[in-house]
Amino acid sequence: MRISFVGVCIAPTQNSLGYVMNQDKKGGKVVRLLDTTLRDGEQMPGVSLAPQQKLEIALALAELGVDSIEAGFPITSRGEFEAVRAIAREIRGVEVIALARAHKADIDKIIEAEVPAIHTFIATSDLHMKYKLRLSPEQVIEKAVWAIEYAKSHGLVVEFSAEDATRSDLQFLAKVFQAVVDAGADRIDIADTVGIAHPSLISFLVSYIKSAVKGGYILSVHCHNDFGMAVANSVTAIESGADQAHVTVLGVGERAGNAALEEVASALAFLYGYKVKIDFSKINRVAKLVARHFGLQIPPNKAIVGVNAFSHESGIHVHGVLSHPLTYEPIDPTIVGAERKIVIGKHSGKHAVEYVIKQLGYEPKEEIVLDVLNKVKELADQGIKVTWDMLIKLVKEEYNG
């Protein structure tokens, strides 16, 4: 049997979890993840981190195994400069990078902070060039090339982003990228600054830039979530030949945020079969740390790191999961440092109650199981949320009279 994936005919294969995977995309390609939780993420409205908090998150990201940590935008403030400098000093074995406009003052701050890599950018869409930059397309290329040459002359690794790339003239975008690659840029990045791309558009753009721009560069994407497409766009870009995606923990970032690290990394590794250097067992812990420092509640239904991502209540699902967890779970929760939770409520069945009774050290008797289940359902029908403590009390009353 042969299955067609987006026009490519390949033999389907199934991984150990039973998923059908697109075999020809495997072969051990390692995808780079540039984490920008501490830069784009911190630009989330209403969020401001102290240097110590930024350092703590950077250390956790290094342990998690991202390839680059974008530490901040040093020209912004004294504290930001200090935080970026501290991160560049403390982090070993993972690239630390910082943001700069194509301005001398911005780049000088990065050199002064002793950051080894720079992420410099300039807008390439007509809209931004005309109304924001007030520069001609030729002046934009000139400034970009100057910034690359200046940063390279100071020995920095250089990543260049074309801001608003997804709304830029295609030929002009390729021309800018070619000019910066010729000037020595190590990586070029297609920024979907206002999140208007969708998978087929990003796929086309990645293929177009890869064929139009010559040279040895790493191609990256930076996707925003204005239409809820950031993760889909990021993984599609990788599937179309990009080498790197910009991500943030929990998808924090400007407006509706960026592509979520935990989702992009998990999809790439578990669904597509790419290699990422992430230690997945730490991903839930890092998400909790970021939520705490950003002052956020992780939505319960958030993929991979939400409290409900591996929770089960409905009788049919609990019965399945207790017989074999993969019946209603895509992966073992321990892979991503999470726990399976059996929640008792209106939708519960007797298998869930039996499970709870056994966990409390009692022998589950049929009539007691049904009695507890009926009481739980009566409470739930009155709109009362049955907590773990209430449940323990119910079970103990049954056994102790």
Residue 126 φ/ψ, nearest 5 degrees = -55, -45
Q: Which two tokens stand for residue 314?
A: 């409905």
Specify the pairing of strand 187-192 against strand 157-163: parallel
Identify which of 277, 231, 256 has the alpha carbon closest to the alpha carbon of residue 31: 277
> What does the binding site for Mn ion look like in residue numbers (CB under 5 A)?
40
Q: Which is nearer to Mn ion, 18 or 46 (CB)?
A: 46
Smallest distance from Mn ion to CB 224, Å: 6
Smallest distance from Mn ion to CB 114, Å: 25
CA 4/CA 187 separation, integer angstroms: 32
Q: Is the dihedral of CA 34, 39, 43, 44 positive or negative?
A: positive
CA 383/CA 398 separation, integer angstroms: 23
CB nearest Mn ion: which residue?
40
Q: Which is nearer to Mn ion, 40 or 70 (CB)?
A: 40
Identify which of 66, 69, 64 has the alpha carbon closest to the alpha carbon of residue 283: 64
Yes or no: say if 190 and 162 are a contact pair by the CB < 8 Å rule: yes
CA 261/CA 35 separation, integer angstroms: 7
Q: Which is nearer to Mn ion, 222 or 302 (CB)?
A: 222
Q: Which is nearer to Mn ion, 119 or 317 (CB)?
A: 119
Smallest distance from Mn ion to CB 193, Å: 6
Smallest distance from Mn ion to CB 113, Å: 21
Yes or no: say if 225 and 198 are a contact pair by the CB < 8 Å rule: no
Q: Which is nearer to Mn ion, 65 or 257 (CB)?
A: 257
Q: Which is nearer to Mn ion, 194 or 307 (CB)?
A: 194
Smallest distance from Mn ion to CB 276, Å: 21
Q: Which two tokens stand for residue 34?
A: 């540039």
Smallest distance from Mn ion to CB 212, Å: 23
